[in-house]
Structure 1
Amino acid sequence: MYSFKSRIRYSEVNERKTLDLSSVINYFQDCSTFHSEDTGNGIDYLTSQNRVWLLNSWQIIVYRYPVLFETIKVSTNPYSFKSMFGYRNFMIQDENDAVCVVADSKWIYLNSDTLRPVRVAESDIASYGLGEKIPMDYKQGNIILPEQRVSKEPFPVVPANIDTNHHVNNGQYIKMAENYLPDQFSIRQMRAEYRSAATLGDVIYPEVALTDTSCTVCLASENKKPYAIIEFIS
Protein backbone atom coordinates (compact mmCIF):
# COMPACT_ATOMS: atom_id res chain seq x y z
CA MET A 1 0.00 0.00 0.00
CA TYR A 2 1.36 3.40 -1.00
CA SER A 3 1.33 6.02 1.80
CA PHE A 4 2.42 9.50 2.74
CA LYS A 5 2.17 11.45 5.99
CA SER A 6 0.78 14.93 6.50
CA ARG A 7 -0.40 17.32 9.18
CA ILE A 8 -3.88 18.82 9.13
CA ARG A 9 -3.62 22.46 8.04
CA TYR A 10 -5.84 25.40 8.99
CA SER A 11 -6.87 25.72 5.32
CA GLU A 12 -8.29 22.17 5.40
CA VAL A 13 -10.66 22.42 8.37
CA ASN A 14 -14.16 23.71 8.96
CA GLU A 15 -15.56 25.86 11.76
CA ARG A 16 -15.33 22.88 14.13
CA LYS A 17 -11.57 22.60 13.42
CA THR A 18 -12.01 19.19 11.82
CA LEU A 19 -10.99 18.07 8.36
CA ASP A 20 -13.89 18.56 5.97
CA LEU A 21 -15.01 16.07 3.34
CA SER A 22 -13.64 18.11 0.43
CA SER A 23 -10.22 18.06 2.05
CA VAL A 24 -10.50 14.30 2.60
CA ILE A 25 -11.11 13.92 -1.13
CA ASN A 26 -8.18 16.20 -1.93
CA TYR A 27 -5.92 14.02 0.21
CA PHE A 28 -7.11 10.91 -1.61
CA GLN A 29 -6.60 12.52 -5.03
CA ASP A 30 -3.14 13.69 -4.02
CA CYS A 31 -2.26 10.22 -2.77
CA SER A 32 -3.27 8.54 -6.04
CA THR A 33 -1.40 11.10 -8.15
CA PHE A 34 1.71 10.76 -5.94
CA HIS A 35 1.48 6.99 -6.35
CA SER A 36 1.15 7.24 -10.14
CA GLU A 37 4.02 9.72 -10.37
CA ASP A 38 6.33 7.60 -8.21
CA THR A 39 5.62 4.48 -10.28
CA GLY A 40 6.27 6.25 -13.60
CA ASN A 41 2.61 6.52 -14.55
CA GLY A 42 2.08 10.19 -13.74
CA ILE A 43 0.28 12.97 -15.57
CA ASP A 44 3.10 13.75 -18.03
CA TYR A 45 3.52 10.07 -18.95
CA LEU A 46 -0.22 9.62 -19.52
CA THR A 47 -0.33 12.79 -21.61
CA SER A 48 2.50 11.45 -23.80
CA GLN A 49 0.44 8.28 -24.37
CA ASN A 50 -2.83 10.15 -25.00
CA ARG A 51 -4.33 8.41 -22.01
CA VAL A 52 -6.18 9.56 -18.90
CA TRP A 53 -7.77 7.95 -15.84
CA LEU A 54 -11.10 9.57 -14.94
CA LEU A 55 -13.00 8.89 -11.76
CA ASN A 56 -16.25 6.99 -12.27
CA SER A 57 -17.47 6.70 -8.67
CA TRP A 58 -16.62 7.19 -4.99
CA GLN A 59 -17.75 5.55 -1.79
CA ILE A 60 -16.36 7.16 1.37
CA ILE A 61 -17.02 6.11 4.98
CA VAL A 62 -15.96 8.43 7.81
CA TYR A 63 -15.37 6.97 11.26
CA ARG A 64 -13.76 10.13 12.61
CA TYR A 65 -12.67 13.41 11.04
CA PRO A 66 -9.05 14.27 11.95
CA VAL A 67 -8.60 17.58 13.75
CA LEU A 68 -6.47 20.66 13.19
CA PHE A 69 -2.69 20.01 13.54
CA GLU A 70 -3.17 16.25 13.84
CA THR A 71 -0.64 14.07 12.00
CA ILE A 72 -2.20 11.55 9.62
CA LYS A 73 -1.15 8.86 7.18
CA VAL A 74 -2.92 8.72 3.83
CA SER A 75 -2.76 5.46 1.88
CA THR A 76 -3.98 4.02 -1.40
CA ASN A 77 -4.05 0.59 -2.92
CA PRO A 78 -5.20 -0.51 -6.39
CA TYR A 79 -6.78 -3.94 -6.03
CA SER A 80 -8.21 -4.79 -9.45
CA PHE A 81 -8.09 -3.87 -13.14
CA LYS A 82 -10.79 -5.22 -15.45
CA SER A 83 -11.17 -4.29 -19.11
CA MET A 84 -11.12 -0.46 -19.11
CA PHE A 85 -11.71 -0.06 -15.35
CA GLY A 86 -9.43 0.28 -12.33
CA TYR A 87 -10.46 -0.13 -8.69
CA ARG A 88 -8.61 1.61 -5.87
CA ASN A 89 -9.02 1.80 -2.08
CA PHE A 90 -8.01 4.71 0.15
CA MET A 91 -7.49 5.13 3.88
CA ILE A 92 -6.65 7.82 6.42
CA GLN A 93 -5.14 6.72 9.73
CA ASP A 94 -4.06 8.64 12.83
CA GLU A 95 -0.70 8.46 14.62
CA ASN A 96 -1.81 5.30 16.42
CA ASP A 97 -2.78 3.65 13.10
CA ALA A 98 -6.48 3.85 13.99
CA VAL A 99 -8.57 4.13 10.83
CA CYS A 100 -10.36 7.48 10.44
CA VAL A 101 -11.67 7.28 6.86
CA VAL A 102 -11.88 4.53 4.23
CA ALA A 103 -12.91 4.76 0.60
CA ASP A 104 -13.47 2.75 -2.54
CA SER A 105 -13.22 4.18 -6.03
CA LYS A 106 -13.77 3.09 -9.63
CA TRP A 107 -11.83 4.66 -12.49
CA ILE A 108 -12.15 4.44 -16.27
CA TYR A 109 -9.20 4.47 -18.69
CA LEU A 110 -9.74 6.73 -21.72
CA ASN A 111 -8.05 7.90 -24.87
CA SER A 112 -7.63 11.60 -24.04
CA ASP A 113 -8.16 12.67 -27.67
CA THR A 114 -11.36 10.75 -28.36
CA LEU A 115 -12.54 10.31 -24.74
CA ARG A 116 -13.38 6.72 -25.64
CA PRO A 117 -12.61 3.88 -23.21
CA VAL A 118 -9.40 1.92 -23.74
CA ARG A 119 -8.69 -1.58 -22.46
CA VAL A 120 -6.00 -1.54 -19.78
CA ALA A 121 -2.83 -3.33 -20.93
CA GLU A 122 -0.46 -5.15 -18.58
CA SER A 123 2.22 -2.57 -19.41
CA ASP A 124 -0.09 0.17 -18.12
CA ILE A 125 -0.36 -1.30 -14.64
CA ALA A 126 2.67 -3.54 -14.06
CA SER A 127 4.51 -1.00 -11.89
CA TYR A 128 1.51 -0.46 -9.59
CA GLY A 129 1.14 -3.95 -8.21
CA LEU A 130 -2.11 -5.12 -6.66
CA GLY A 131 -3.08 -5.29 -2.99
CA GLU A 132 -5.93 -6.78 -1.02
CA LYS A 133 -9.26 -4.97 -0.75
CA ILE A 134 -9.52 -3.18 2.56
CA PRO A 135 -12.42 -4.20 4.83
CA MET A 136 -15.40 -1.85 4.56
CA ASP A 137 -19.12 -2.00 3.88
CA TYR A 138 -19.05 -1.97 0.08
CA LYS A 139 -22.24 -0.66 -1.52
CA GLN A 140 -23.45 -2.36 -4.68
CA GLY A 141 -25.43 -0.82 -7.53
CA ASN A 142 -26.03 2.73 -8.62
CA ILE A 143 -27.31 5.56 -6.46
CA ILE A 144 -31.10 5.63 -6.59
CA LEU A 145 -32.16 9.16 -7.49
CA PRO A 146 -35.36 10.02 -5.58
CA GLU A 147 -38.33 11.01 -7.73
CA GLN A 148 -39.25 13.94 -5.48
CA ARG A 149 -36.52 16.55 -5.95
CA VAL A 150 -36.43 20.30 -5.47
CA SER A 151 -34.81 22.38 -8.21
CA LYS A 152 -32.30 24.99 -7.09
CA GLU A 153 -30.86 28.07 -8.77
CA PRO A 154 -28.56 27.12 -11.69
CA PHE A 155 -24.97 28.35 -11.71
CA PRO A 156 -22.09 28.41 -14.21
CA VAL A 157 -18.88 26.42 -14.15
CA VAL A 158 -16.01 28.81 -13.38
CA PRO A 159 -12.23 28.50 -13.96
CA ALA A 160 -11.59 27.53 -10.32
CA ASN A 161 -13.62 24.33 -10.90
CA ILE A 162 -11.40 23.05 -13.73
CA ASP A 163 -8.49 20.62 -13.39
CA THR A 164 -5.67 19.42 -15.70
CA ASN A 165 -8.13 17.36 -17.74
CA HIS A 166 -10.01 20.60 -18.61
CA HIS A 167 -13.14 19.28 -16.86
CA VAL A 168 -14.74 20.05 -13.52
CA ASN A 169 -12.63 18.20 -10.94
CA ASN A 170 -14.46 15.40 -9.15
CA GLY A 171 -13.85 17.05 -5.77
CA GLN A 172 -15.41 20.28 -7.01
CA TYR A 173 -18.74 18.52 -7.62
CA ILE A 174 -18.69 17.42 -3.97
CA LYS A 175 -18.07 21.00 -2.80
CA MET A 176 -20.94 22.19 -4.99
CA ALA A 177 -23.27 19.55 -3.56
CA GLU A 178 -22.31 20.31 0.04
CA ASN A 179 -23.91 23.74 -0.36
CA TYR A 180 -27.33 22.07 -0.20
CA LEU A 181 -26.79 20.17 3.05
CA PRO A 182 -29.02 21.18 5.97
CA ASP A 183 -27.43 22.96 8.91
CA GLN A 184 -25.76 20.60 11.40
CA PHE A 185 -25.75 17.74 8.87
CA SER A 186 -22.75 15.56 9.72
CA ILE A 187 -21.52 13.50 6.76
CA ARG A 188 -20.68 9.93 7.78
CA GLN A 189 -20.91 8.35 4.35
CA MET A 190 -20.80 9.71 0.83
CA ARG A 191 -21.33 8.12 -2.56
CA ALA A 192 -20.78 9.91 -5.85
CA GLU A 193 -21.27 8.87 -9.46
CA TYR A 194 -19.86 10.83 -12.36
CA ARG A 195 -22.00 10.52 -15.49
CA SER A 196 -20.60 13.20 -17.85
CA ALA A 197 -17.96 15.90 -17.71
CA ALA A 198 -18.89 19.55 -17.24
CA THR A 199 -16.49 22.06 -18.76
CA LEU A 200 -15.85 25.78 -18.48
CA GLY A 201 -18.94 27.79 -19.38
CA ASP A 202 -21.43 24.99 -18.82
CA VAL A 203 -24.36 25.77 -16.53
CA ILE A 204 -25.23 23.35 -13.75
CA TYR A 205 -28.84 22.80 -12.68
CA PRO A 206 -29.02 21.33 -9.15
CA GLU A 207 -31.83 19.17 -7.84
CA VAL A 208 -31.98 18.14 -4.17
CA ALA A 209 -33.85 15.43 -2.26
CA LEU A 210 -33.79 15.34 1.55
CA THR A 211 -34.77 12.75 4.15
CA ASP A 212 -34.11 12.65 7.89
CA THR A 213 -30.76 10.93 7.35
CA SER A 214 -29.73 11.66 3.77
CA CYS A 215 -29.27 14.35 1.15
CA THR A 216 -29.09 13.40 -2.53
CA VAL A 217 -27.93 16.04 -4.99
CA CYS A 218 -28.13 15.76 -8.78
CA LEU A 219 -25.95 18.24 -10.65
CA ALA A 220 -27.28 18.20 -14.19
CA SER A 221 -27.26 20.01 -17.51
CA GLU A 222 -30.19 22.10 -18.73
CA ASN A 223 -31.65 19.03 -20.46
CA LYS A 224 -31.54 17.11 -17.13
CA LYS A 225 -28.56 14.93 -18.09
CA PRO A 226 -26.61 14.40 -14.84
CA TYR A 227 -23.00 15.45 -14.59
CA ALA A 228 -22.76 13.95 -11.11
CA ILE A 229 -25.05 12.43 -8.49
CA ILE A 230 -23.96 12.68 -4.86
CA GLU A 231 -25.55 10.97 -1.87
CA PHE A 232 -24.67 12.12 1.64
CA ILE A 233 -25.66 10.03 4.67
CA SER A 234 -25.51 11.30 8.24
Structure 2
Amino acid sequence: MSHPENFQFTKDFEVGSFQVHPNGKIRLACLADLLQEIAWRHADSADFGRNLLESNQMWVLSRLEIKVEKFPKWGDHLQLFTGGRGAEKLFAFREFMVWDQNQHVVARAMSSWLLLHTETKRIQKPESVLPAALFDPAKAPAWQPEKLMAKGEFSTKDEIQVRQSDLDLYHHVNNTSYIRWVENFLAEVSFLPNQISINYLSECHLGDRVILSLFESGLEKFVEGKVGEKAVFVARVL
Protein backbone atom coordinates (compact mmCIF):
# COMPACT_ATOMS: atom_id res chain seq x y z
CA MET A 1 0.00 0.00 0.00
CA SER A 2 1.40 3.38 -0.99
CA HIS A 3 1.14 6.43 1.26
CA PRO A 4 1.28 10.14 0.34
CA GLU A 5 4.46 12.18 0.78
CA ASN A 6 6.61 9.11 1.46
CA PHE A 7 4.95 8.38 4.78
CA GLN A 8 5.45 4.77 5.87
CA PHE A 9 2.58 3.87 8.21
CA THR A 10 -1.07 4.80 8.61
CA LYS A 11 -3.91 4.25 11.07
CA ASP A 12 -7.53 5.40 11.23
CA PHE A 13 -9.14 7.01 14.27
CA GLU A 14 -12.52 8.48 15.15
CA VAL A 15 -12.71 11.53 17.42
CA GLY A 16 -14.59 10.52 20.58
CA SER A 17 -16.80 12.60 22.85
CA PHE A 18 -14.18 12.28 25.61
CA GLN A 19 -11.52 13.91 23.41
CA VAL A 20 -13.14 17.26 22.71
CA HIS A 21 -13.48 20.71 24.30
CA PRO A 22 -16.95 21.97 25.21
CA ASN A 23 -16.95 23.55 21.73
CA GLY A 24 -16.92 20.05 20.23
CA LYS A 25 -13.41 20.28 18.74
CA ILE A 26 -10.57 17.93 19.63
CA ARG A 27 -8.26 18.92 22.46
CA LEU A 28 -4.67 19.54 21.42
CA ALA A 29 -3.50 17.03 24.04
CA CYS A 30 -5.84 14.38 22.64
CA LEU A 31 -4.50 14.98 19.14
CA ALA A 32 -1.02 14.49 20.62
CA ASP A 33 -2.27 11.21 22.14
CA LEU A 34 -3.10 9.97 18.63
CA LEU A 35 0.33 10.98 17.34
CA GLN A 36 2.00 9.12 20.17
CA GLU A 37 -0.11 6.03 19.54
CA ILE A 38 0.67 5.80 15.83
CA ALA A 39 4.38 6.41 16.54
CA TRP A 40 4.45 3.36 18.85
CA ARG A 41 2.43 1.25 16.41
CA HIS A 42 4.87 2.06 13.60
CA ALA A 43 7.93 1.43 15.77
CA ASP A 44 6.54 -1.90 17.03
CA SER A 45 5.72 -2.99 13.48
CA ALA A 46 9.37 -2.63 12.45
CA ASP A 47 11.00 -3.91 15.68
CA PHE A 48 12.36 -0.67 17.06
CA GLY A 49 9.62 -0.03 19.62
CA ARG A 50 8.86 -1.73 22.91
CA ASN A 51 11.12 -4.67 22.07
CA LEU A 52 14.10 -2.38 22.77
CA LEU A 53 13.41 -2.79 26.50
CA GLU A 54 14.90 -6.27 26.19
CA SER A 55 18.27 -4.58 25.55
CA ASN A 56 17.68 -1.86 28.18
CA GLN A 57 16.94 0.84 25.63
CA MET A 58 13.99 3.19 25.25
CA TRP A 59 12.88 6.13 23.14
CA VAL A 60 12.43 9.53 24.78
CA LEU A 61 10.59 12.32 23.01
CA SER A 62 12.83 15.38 23.13
CA ARG A 63 10.98 17.97 21.04
CA LEU A 64 7.60 18.16 19.32
CA GLU A 65 5.90 20.73 17.10
CA ILE A 66 2.23 20.50 16.11
CA LYS A 67 0.53 22.80 13.59
CA VAL A 68 -3.26 22.54 13.30
CA GLU A 69 -4.95 23.93 10.21
CA LYS A 70 -8.47 22.93 11.27
CA PHE A 71 -9.49 21.23 14.51
CA PRO A 72 -11.43 17.98 13.91
CA LYS A 73 -14.79 17.63 15.67
CA TRP A 74 -16.49 14.91 17.68
CA GLY A 75 -17.36 12.06 15.34
CA ASP A 76 -14.90 13.02 12.60
CA HIS A 77 -12.98 10.16 11.01
CA LEU A 78 -9.26 10.81 10.76
CA GLN A 79 -6.46 9.08 8.90
CA LEU A 80 -3.04 9.58 10.47
CA PHE A 81 0.24 9.05 8.67
CA THR A 82 3.75 8.86 10.08
CA GLY A 83 7.24 8.12 8.88
CA GLY A 84 10.91 8.35 9.72
CA ARG A 85 12.58 11.51 8.49
CA GLY A 86 16.20 10.66 9.03
CA ALA A 87 18.60 11.27 11.88
CA GLU A 88 21.18 13.90 12.75
CA LYS A 89 23.76 13.55 15.50
CA LEU A 90 21.79 12.11 18.44
CA PHE A 91 18.29 12.93 17.17
CA ALA A 92 15.97 10.70 15.16
CA PHE A 93 13.12 12.56 13.43
CA ARG A 94 9.52 11.46 12.91
CA GLU A 95 6.90 13.37 10.96
CA PHE A 96 3.09 13.14 11.14
CA MET A 97 0.21 14.21 8.92
CA VAL A 98 -3.52 14.10 9.69
CA TRP A 99 -6.24 13.84 7.06
CA ASP A 100 -9.97 14.36 7.58
CA GLN A 101 -12.55 12.10 5.91
CA ASN A 102 -12.22 14.15 2.71
CA GLN A 103 -8.44 13.66 2.60
CA HIS A 104 -7.79 17.30 3.50
CA VAL A 105 -4.75 17.97 5.69
CA VAL A 106 -5.97 19.23 9.07
CA ALA A 107 -2.70 18.97 11.03
CA ARG A 108 1.00 18.29 10.68
CA ALA A 109 3.67 17.58 13.29
CA MET A 110 7.40 16.93 13.54
CA SER A 111 9.18 15.28 16.44
CA SER A 112 12.74 14.55 17.51
CA TRP A 113 13.64 11.55 19.67
CA LEU A 114 16.58 10.37 21.76
CA LEU A 115 17.54 6.76 22.42
CA LEU A 116 18.45 6.18 26.08
CA HIS A 117 19.85 3.29 28.09
CA THR A 118 17.16 2.60 30.68
CA GLU A 119 19.60 2.10 33.57
CA THR A 120 22.47 4.51 32.91
CA LYS A 121 20.29 7.13 31.12
CA ARG A 122 23.15 7.59 28.66
CA ILE A 123 22.18 8.64 25.15
CA GLN A 124 22.75 6.00 22.47
CA LYS A 125 23.28 6.45 18.74
CA PRO A 126 19.84 6.13 17.11
CA GLU A 127 21.18 4.43 13.99
CA SER A 128 22.20 1.46 16.14
CA VAL A 129 18.56 0.31 16.29
CA LEU A 130 16.79 2.14 13.45
CA PRO A 131 16.06 0.49 10.09
CA ALA A 132 18.13 2.43 7.56
CA ALA A 133 15.30 2.29 5.05
CA LEU A 134 13.07 4.28 7.43
CA PHE A 135 15.59 6.58 9.10
CA ASP A 136 18.43 7.44 6.76
CA PRO A 137 20.96 9.39 8.88
CA ALA A 138 22.08 11.20 5.72
CA LYS A 139 18.61 12.72 5.19
CA ALA A 140 17.82 14.95 8.16
CA PRO A 141 14.67 17.04 7.48
CA ALA A 142 14.59 20.75 6.79
CA TRP A 143 11.78 21.10 9.35
CA GLN A 144 13.21 20.34 12.79
CA PRO A 145 11.61 21.29 16.13
CA GLU A 146 13.58 24.18 17.58
CA LYS A 147 15.40 24.50 20.86
CA LEU A 148 13.25 26.85 22.93
CA MET A 149 13.85 29.39 25.66
CA ALA A 150 11.02 31.20 27.44
CA LYS A 151 11.01 34.93 26.74
CA GLY A 152 8.75 37.92 27.05
CA GLU A 153 6.87 39.59 29.87
CA PHE A 154 5.80 37.44 32.81
CA SER A 155 2.01 37.21 32.99
CA THR A 156 0.83 34.66 35.55
CA LYS A 157 1.68 31.33 37.17
CA ASP A 158 0.03 28.23 38.57
CA GLU A 159 1.08 25.17 40.54
CA ILE A 160 0.03 21.59 39.82
CA GLN A 161 0.93 18.28 41.41
CA VAL A 162 1.78 15.23 39.31
CA ARG A 163 -1.00 12.65 39.67
CA GLN A 164 -1.18 8.97 38.81
CA SER A 165 -3.11 9.73 35.61
CA ASP A 166 -0.20 11.85 34.35
CA LEU A 167 2.23 8.90 34.23
CA ASP A 168 3.32 6.61 31.41
CA LEU A 169 4.54 3.00 31.36
CA TYR A 170 7.94 4.10 32.70
CA HIS A 171 6.41 5.93 35.71
CA HIS A 172 7.40 9.30 34.21
CA VAL A 173 4.98 12.04 33.20
CA ASN A 174 3.59 11.16 29.78
CA ASN A 175 4.60 13.46 26.91
CA THR A 176 1.00 14.38 26.25
CA SER A 177 0.31 15.23 29.91
CA TYR A 178 2.61 18.26 29.57
CA ILE A 179 0.54 19.44 26.60
CA ARG A 180 -2.65 18.95 28.62
CA TRP A 181 -1.17 21.07 31.44
CA VAL A 182 -0.31 23.83 28.95
CA GLU A 183 -3.72 23.66 27.31
CA ASN A 184 -5.58 23.84 30.64
CA PHE A 185 -3.34 26.64 31.93
CA LEU A 186 -3.93 28.75 28.81
CA ALA A 187 -7.67 28.07 28.84
CA GLU A 188 -7.79 29.87 32.18
CA VAL A 189 -6.71 33.04 30.33
CA SER A 190 -9.17 32.29 27.49
CA PHE A 191 -6.55 31.17 24.98
CA LEU A 192 -6.77 27.96 22.91
CA PRO A 193 -3.65 27.51 20.74
CA ASN A 194 -3.62 25.92 17.30
CA GLN A 195 0.15 25.54 17.21
CA ILE A 196 2.51 24.30 19.90
CA SER A 197 6.23 23.64 20.11
CA ILE A 198 7.50 21.90 23.22
CA ASN A 199 10.91 20.87 24.55
CA TYR A 200 11.02 18.11 27.15
CA LEU A 201 13.97 18.91 29.41
CA SER A 202 13.83 16.71 32.53
CA GLU A 203 11.81 13.87 34.00
CA CYS A 204 8.79 14.50 36.20
CA HIS A 205 7.58 11.94 38.75
CA LEU A 206 4.53 11.18 40.87
CA GLY A 207 4.04 13.79 43.59
CA ASP A 208 6.26 16.46 42.00
CA ARG A 209 4.91 19.99 42.31
CA VAL A 210 5.31 21.82 39.01
CA ILE A 211 5.22 25.61 38.78
CA LEU A 212 3.83 26.78 35.44
CA SER A 213 4.78 30.30 34.36
CA LEU A 214 3.30 32.19 31.40
CA PHE A 215 5.33 34.73 29.42
CA GLU A 216 4.00 36.82 26.53
CA SER A 217 6.04 38.17 23.62
CA GLY A 218 4.00 39.67 20.80
CA LEU A 219 1.86 36.96 19.22
CA GLU A 220 3.83 34.24 20.98
CA LYS A 221 3.21 32.86 24.44
CA PHE A 222 5.66 30.72 26.37
CA VAL A 223 4.84 28.32 29.19
CA GLU A 224 7.71 27.13 31.35
CA GLY A 225 7.40 24.29 33.85
CA LYS A 226 9.78 23.94 36.79
CA VAL A 227 10.14 21.61 39.75
CA GLY A 228 12.03 23.74 42.25
CA GLU A 229 14.87 25.27 40.25
CA LYS A 230 14.86 22.47 37.66
CA ALA A 231 13.24 23.26 34.31
CA VAL A 232 11.23 20.26 33.12
CA PHE A 233 9.71 21.67 29.93
CA VAL A 234 9.21 24.84 27.91
CA ALA A 235 6.49 25.36 25.32
CA ARG A 236 5.77 28.05 22.73
CA VAL A 237 2.20 28.50 21.49
CA LEU A 238 0.52 30.52 18.79
Common topology (TM > 0.5): yes
Conserved 8 A contact 1:82-1:120: no
Question: When the two structures are aligned, how many residues end up with a matched partner?
Answer: 228
Q: Which residue of 2 aligns with 1:185?
A: 191
Shift of 1:155: 2.5
Q: Which residue of 2 aligns with 1:97?
A: 103
TM-score, normalised relative to structure 2? 0.87
Q: What SS does the corresponding residue of 2:153 show, helix, strand or coil? A: coil
Shift of 1:83: 3.7
Trace 1:64-83 onto structure 2 (pairs within 5 A): 64-83=70-89
C-alpha RMSD over aligned residues: 2.2
Q: Which residue of 1 aligns with 2:131?
A: 126
Shift of 1:134: 8.4
Q: What SS does the corresponding residue of 2:66 show, helix, strand or coil? A: strand
Conserved 8 A contact 2:85-2:141: no
Determine if the alignment matches structure 1 residue 194 to structure 2 residue 200: yes
Shift of 1:142: 2.2
Determine if the alignment matches structure 1 residue 13 to structure 2 residue 20: yes
- In 2, Cα distance between the equivalents of 1:83 and 1:226? 24
- In 2, Cα distance between the equivalents of 1:100 and 1:140? 19
Where in structure 1 are there 5+ consecutive unaligned residues? none
Trace 1:33-44 onto structure 2 (pairs within 5 A): 33-43=40-50
Q: What SS does the corresponding residue of 1:181 show, helix, strand or coil? A: helix
Shift of 1:8: 1.1
1:50 to 50, 53, 56: 56
- In 2, Cα distance between the equivalents of 1:201 and 1:58? 25
Q: What SS does the corresponding residue of 1:72 show, helix, strand or coil? A: strand
Q: What SS does the corresponding residue of 2:228 show, helix, strand or coil? A: coil
Conserved 8 A contact 1:5-1:72: yes
Deviations 1:113-157 (A, max 9, x none): 1111011244x112762488889xx46642231153245242221
Give the residue type in structure 2 aligned to 1:112.
T
Shift of 1:215: 2.3
Give the residue type in structure 2 aligned to 1:2.
F
Where in structure 2 are there 5+ consecutive unaligned residues? 1-7
- In 2, Cα distance between the equivalents of 1:227 and 1:195? 5
1:165 to 167, 170, 174: 170
Q: What SS does the corresponding residue of 1:190 show, helix, strand or coil? A: strand
- In 2, Cα distance between the equivalents of 1:232 and 1:55? 18
Q: Which moved more, 1:50-59 or 1:126-135?
A: 126-135
- In 1, Cα distance between the equivalents of 2:83 and 2:141? 9
Q: Which residue of 1 aligns with 2:4?
A: none
- Identity %, equivalent residues: 21
Q: Which moved more, 1:209-218 or 1:98-107?
A: 209-218
